[in-house]
Structure 1
Amino acid sequence: MIDISSHVIGVLKPLGITVAFQELPINATVPNQYITFLEINTNPALEAGDVEEETKRLIQVNIWSKTNYHQIVEGTRKLLESKGFERTFEHDVPKQEGDSHFNKVLRFVFFDEY
């Protein structure tokens, strides 16, 4: 089983923006554009004789930007899909008063083999 946090950060590195597990580090300067992600759910996907052979992992990626984030969304989708992630869901989070960034949510499933 892979370290999903390191894997996602490595896959998205070519975007050239900050990628962090769940949140930016405390006291970090908030960049104009960045990505956070988390693992929502993990389930056995394939078992053989009470042994888990494959794990289904649901990952949520949040793209944060003060400006148009279309290129980051497209780049994120392409990079993750090129490494076996399958997009299952995508939506814009409505911006509310006081929000500093726009937010796009993407969810992917990843099948992790042992």
Structure 2
Amino acid sequence: MRATYAGGFANQWGAPECIGDRFPSGRHFDVKSLIGDFSDPRMERTRRHELFELVFVALCATIAGSDGWADIERIGVRRLERLRTFQRLENGIPSHDAVGGTAVTLPRR
């Protein structure tokens, strides 16, 4: 999966495109490589979403202008079908508690 800033504001998110082929500089950006070496800090029995799904939804919602964990969930719910064109999201959008609780346990880079 590669992310890009397309430079246009007339898209379904109401913000610059968050998924595509390249950044304006021409460099590719592999989102999965950012978290590939993270171990999932959550207890296995409570995991409803893959770690990458949480990061993916949070990243797209942040680019779309979210302002906190609840906004990430709201934007994700509104754009679920669009997000599913890039990720399975079999269990839907993670709750704001799941995203926020996981985010605070990930290592800082």
TM-score after normalising by structure 1: 0.31
**Could you say which structure has the higher helix fraction?**
2
**Could you say which structure has the higher strand fraction?**
1
| Structure with more contact order per residue of length (Cα contacts < 8 Å, sep ≥ 6) | 1
Bigger radius of gyration among the two: 1
